[in-house]
Structure formats: structure tokens, C-alpha cells
Amino acid sequence: MRVFITGGAGFIGSNLADRLLARGDAVMVVDNYATGRRDNLKAHEHLTMVEGSITDGALVRALVGDFKPDLIVHAAASYKDPEDWAGDALVNGVGTANIVKAARDSGCGRVIYFQTALCYGLKPLEQPITLAHPILPGGSSYAISKTAGEHYIQLSGLDHVSFRLANAYGPRNLSGPLPTFYHRLTTGKPCFVTNTRRDFIYIDDLVDCVVSAVDGRGHGAYHISSGSDYSISELFNEAVRALRINLEQPVEVRERHPDDAYTILLDPSRTGEEFGWQIRTPLGDGVSRTIDWYREHGITQTFTHLIQSKE
């Protein structure tokens, strides 16, 4: 297959690209490296790398028109600064509009999109959250703009899959609590956890599901999630265990920021039924593999799309 991946040097995009290249697909990647890493992808005879932004409509049209992909996997997103509303709107809204217009113009009939679970709001009306839950993205710029992107894909009339994601983690991930814990624990900085819970999905399990969609399975919205939520304290303890360190005192637990949801637990039943998919990686194993990658490659910065309490 010929697969065009936006944000292909980022966490999800690069892991997917590696999987597709390993099975013989031709992959074109576009990334502006705002949050992606240049060492996430190695040169490959079937890989074409382009540095650029999806906000450049002319570039997107030219790349998609020349490459003529069988489908587009749209993994690019603006999320590193929760106060950069204009940047989020430009990348996640206008950028997505550019992608779907280029897909239609080139005859590419299928798009795979990644949506945030925050599209259901900071105070979900049910737990676990089903696909019938109303879309209420007003709690963050990231959710507002990612939902706009999802609407543009729906408006396009293209065959599509929109994966609404739980908290993905694993090698190459630089956002969320786990890379923050690693960075602070290995640089002698104090740590704290918030009294929140999250549904964590390991990247290999997530990619298993996405590859099925690349191969044509699924139409419309789906959840990719473990179906279980864990406290942030549990994640911290797994990080400490993987690092083989002994803390002098228990980690401080703080109240969450007002814009932070207590728990986001997604119901993945439709995905399991239609994709024949289930998670394979226990939290402890996934954290250990992720910590090993951080040790080998190092991390110097981490990102979040929610406003956080300061030190």
C-alpha cells in the first residue's frame, strides 16, 4: 500500500510508519518537528520524509497529488501549549481541512484520524464513556480544535475512521505524566501526582488497531482504550519500579487543576467487536519498555495540552 502519514515523526505516526515499512508498504511522512523527533525514523528505501507543515495548503496538495496514496493517516496535531489557541486552530482545524481537500482532489478515498477523548468534556456524563456520549469539547483549546478537524473529515464525505484515544504511552512519547515522571526522577527534581485516573493504552496495542484500519476495517468513530482506568499514583509507582529506585518518602498527592478531568474511561466494545482487537500489554510491562527507551534515547522536554499546576 501507499500510505501518507502527517505528523509521521511524532509518537503515534513514527511507530505506525515503522510497522508499515516493516511489512513492505510505501510511506510518505510530513512533519514540522514541533513535537516530533528527527531520530524517531531511520532512512528506509520505501520511506519519503518531508519537512513541512500541514498548514501549508499548497504543499499538502502537491505532496498528496504526487504521492497518490491509497489512504492518509492524519496524526499531526498542535498540543504542546494549552494557551496557543490560534496555533491549535490553525494546525488542527485548517490543517485538517487542507488534508481532506487534498485527499478529495487526488482521489484518495480514505482518511484515518486521531481524536482526543477530551472531546467528551472535562466532566463526562457517564463512565465508561460510550460512543453515544455527546461531544462537549469546550474545556480545552486542544479538544475544540481537534473536534473541528473531526467535523471537517465528516463534512468531506470521505470514507474515514476517527479513533478517539485514551492516554497513549510508550517509546517516543513526550506528552503526559510518564515522561514527566522519568525526567524528574532521573534529574533529582521533586515529583507529585494529581488525584486523577486515566485509561492508558500502550503504543504497540494502539498500532495493532490502526493497522487494521489501514487495511480497510472500520468506518466512523471508534475508541482505542484499555477499558480500565488507573490512578496517576499507580503509574508513578510503576515508573519508580522500572527505574529500580527507592524513594525516601511517598510521592505527594495534589488536587487536580480545575480544567483537569478526574477520570476519562472509554468503552472500547465497538472496536473489539468490529476489529477483533484487544490489548495485550499490561501497564507494568508497557511502563518498563517505555522507561528503557527513555534511558537509551533521553528526553529533554515534555508537553501537555492541559494547564497544569506549577512546581
Helix axes 232-243, 177-185, angle to 10 degrees: 40
Domains and CATH numbers, the chain: 2-169+200-224 (3.40.50.720), 177-197+227-297 (3.90.25.10)
With a cut of 60, say whether residue 309 has pLDDT above it: no
- The grid coordinates of residue 159 equal 470514507
Asked if residue 90 lies in contact with residue 55, where contact means CB atoms within 8 angstroms, the answer is: yes
Instruction: Taking residues 230-257, report their average pLDDT.
Output: 94
With a cut of 90, say whether residue 305 has pLDDT above it: no
With a cut of 60, say whether residue 265 has pLDDT above it: yes
- The grid coordinates of residue 161 equal 475512521
With a cut of 70, say whether residue 225 has pLDDT above it: yes
**Residue 303 — pLDDT band, cuts 50, 70, 90?**
low
With a cut of 80, say whether residue 310 has pLDDT above it: no
Sheet containing 197-198: which strands, arranged edge to edge?
Answer: 230-231, 197-198, 263-264
With a cut of 70, say whether residue 307 has pLDDT above it: no
pLDDT tens for each residue of 128-150: 999 999 999 998 999 999 999 99
53-60: Cβ within 8 A, 24+ apart: 53/91, 53/95, 54/6, 54/30, 54/91, 54/95, 54/96, 54/98, 54/99, 55/90, 55/91, 55/94, 55/95, 55/98, 56/98, 57/98, 57/101, 57/102, 59/30, 60/30, 60/98, 60/99, 60/102
Amino acid in position 79: Y
Distance CA 254, CA 186 (A): 21
Annotated active-site positions, please? 142
Residues forming a β-bridge with 5: 29, 73
With a cut of 50, say whether residue 261 has pLDDT above it: yes
Least confident of 121-125, 192-196, 203-207, 301-305: 301-305
Instruction: Taking residues 61-70, report their average pLDDT.
Output: 98
